[in-house]
Chains A and B, each alone.
Chain A
Amino acid sequence: MTQAVSLEYVLIVAAALFCIGLFGALARRNLISMLMGIELMLNAVNINLVAFWRYLEPSYVTGQVFVLFIIAVAAAEAAVGLAMVIAVYRSRTTLQADEVDSLKG
């Protein structure tokens, strides 16, 4: 089986995407951007899993099934996360993480 691109390149793309997501989750101060960063991290993992499945074990569907699980969980997390963003915005009219700071010590 010949491959157009080798596994390493796909993994590098996934790792880069994961790092972009990581940067977004850590460095952005807007709550929605932080959630988007986390979604990017999860999607990078999906690329990883599909790549491993395609290049290493195409006869088993394991890798693909994992991706379905992760998509479902990411959706559930996004639903709860966005609901909370709305609640935060209603009570403080801001989405800047720095201004959500009543707990300290």
Chain B
Amino acid sequence: MIQPPQIDFSVIGALTVLCVWGIALLLIDAFFIAEGQKRVTGYLALAGLAVAALVGLPSWGQSSNTFSGMVQLDGFSQTLIWIFLLAAAITIVISLDYLPRHDIEKGEYYPLVLFATAGMVLLAQSTNLIVMFLAIELVSIPLYILAGFAYPRVTSEEAAMKYLLLGAFASGFFVYGLALIYGQTGTVQLFSVDGSDSIASYLDRATLVAENNVFLFAGSALILVTLGFKVALVPFHNWTPDVYEGSPTPIAAFMSVGTKGAAFAALLRFLVQALPNLQAIWMPILAILAALTMIVGNIGALKQLNVKRMLAYSSVGHAGYITLAVITGTTLGTNAFLFYILAYTLTNLGAFAVLIALEKQGESAWSLEDLSGLWQRQPLLAVAMAIFMLSLAGVPPTMGFVGKFYIFSAAWEGGLVWLAAIGVITSAISAFFYLRIIARMFMYEPTRAEEASLSRALKVGLAVAAVAVLLLGLIPTPIIELVNNSLLVAAR
């Protein structure tokens, strides 16, 4: 007789709120909210996100797990949950007026964002490969639909199709890896606090001879491929520019920060909690991938004249920097990772919000030309964009600078000096295309007469992001204290 597991709902509070509210909102939207008033659904979704953020407060600082240790709540996952909820909230705020302007306002948009957020939350908490797989799919399937949400537009549909085919393809690798690891170790639990079977405890016992562990090595490699695909590491990054360009702009912003952050959290847990004994093997491999990612991403962005594609390549470059923090495997690396994810979330959402303000109905305004002379047309918008570009380039006094500094010092202390050097050099290269945008905005004459359409919701989203990036760049101490207290629960 199988006993049903005891479920501790305080561990999965945010996840429960998001899933239940997402389902309820689908019904409320279908029956009570009239066409043309779908913005109300957006406000209700925001309320759900706020509740999900609040339920995490009482258990802050504790570490507990449920579902027989498959889902873990620790400081690390709680901080990430808050970052994802913030990302989802900003995404919804900047979507409120984007959707009606492009005639794609449908109520299911907001519940789908909630479901994807629930997947990110679960991914940050999962300490078991099968839960990780379910979480990856819970992130991806709503995002496949959202990427194609502007679907009479052929590019949106095409982005969704490409994302789906490649995403499903990558999931196939993940489950194959999972099956092989299960065959080798008899478990897919990353680690366990109570000493029961796990991959980490298997590695403690096993003699690490490659011939005896073929399945484990092959399986881990396959899982790394999938996670590398999700975070857009070179050479698995080719989908990024196409998918970001074709997707509705708020969704591209959400994917670039949320999916990336969640998949990196899973990568970090997999490497640091399940395979700490194999660090000598995975560290050099991922270090080379990180170096390639930084180089290819930033050089790819150099030649882009389309700002949305430029941001897509820049997100590939940033994946390289984040990998740097992940592979150190130290506490400093974990803290730097959390700080950078927050900085990147605020900055990138802000940069995409500026593009949304410039977009007109049914037409894109993503070329450098469209940004020319923005200072004369919309001074505040130009200043906000300048802050975001400086933050992405890592120029003080922005959050991006503190984040990069944090990551490079973690890499330095972790003994990855050459990688930190490549990081600094590629940052310098990246400054070229970020500053080019600033130059366009401030030093060129306007080539278009039209005004940008800044609605109140968009202004709120932009102001929150810009002020936070600047203020937390000047006074980063509160966030640094927060991430220092966000401990990853120790294996064993």
Contact = CB atoms under 8 A, between A and B. Distances in A.
B158 A102 contact: yes
B179 A77 contact: no
A80 B158 CA distance: 14
A91 B169 CA distance: 24
A11 to B, nearest CB: 8
Nearest to A26: B169
A70 interface: yes
Contact of B155 (A45, A73, A84, A103): A103
Contacts of B176: 18, 41, 44-45, 48
A50 B160 CA distance: 32
Interface in B149-185: 151-152, 154-155, 157-162, 164-165, 168-169, 171-172, 175-176, 178-180, 182-183
A84 B168 contact: no
A31 B168 contact: no
B165 A34 contact: yes
B141 interface: yes
B374 to A, nearest CB: 23
Mostly, the B contact residues are helix
B144 interface: yes
A105 B130 contact: no
A61 B130 CA distance: 14
Given A57-B186, A102-B155, A84 B164 contact: yes
B333 interface: no
Contacts of A22: 172
A8 B165 CA distance: 31
A80 B168 CA distance: 11
A70 B172 CA distance: 10
Contacts of B172: 18, 21-22, 25, 38, 41-42, 45
Contact of A81 (B168, B180, B183, B187): B168
Given A25-B169, A38-B165, A45-B179, A73 B133 contact: yes
A91 B165 contact: no
A103 B158 contact: yes
A56 to B, nearest CB: 6
B154 A73 contact: no
B183 A35 contact: no
A7 B152 CA distance: 50
Contacts of B148: 84, 87
B183 A52 contact: yes
Interface string B192-227: 000000000000000000000000000000000000
B183 A84 contact: no
Contacts of A41: 169, 172, 176
Interface stretch (B240-248, B249-257, B419-427): B240-248
Contacts of B309: 105
Given A45-B179, A84-B157, 11 more contacts: A25-B165, A31-B161, A34-B165, A42-B171, A45-B178, A48-B179, A69-B134, A84-B144, A87-B151, A102-B158, A103-B242
22 contacts: A11-B183, A21-B172, A25-B165, A31-B161, A31-B165, A34-B165, A38-B168, A44-B176, A48-B176, A62-B187, A66-B178, A73-B133, A77-B137, A77-B141, A77-B168, A85-B161, A92-B154, A100-B161, A102-B154, A102-B158, A103-B242, A103-B246
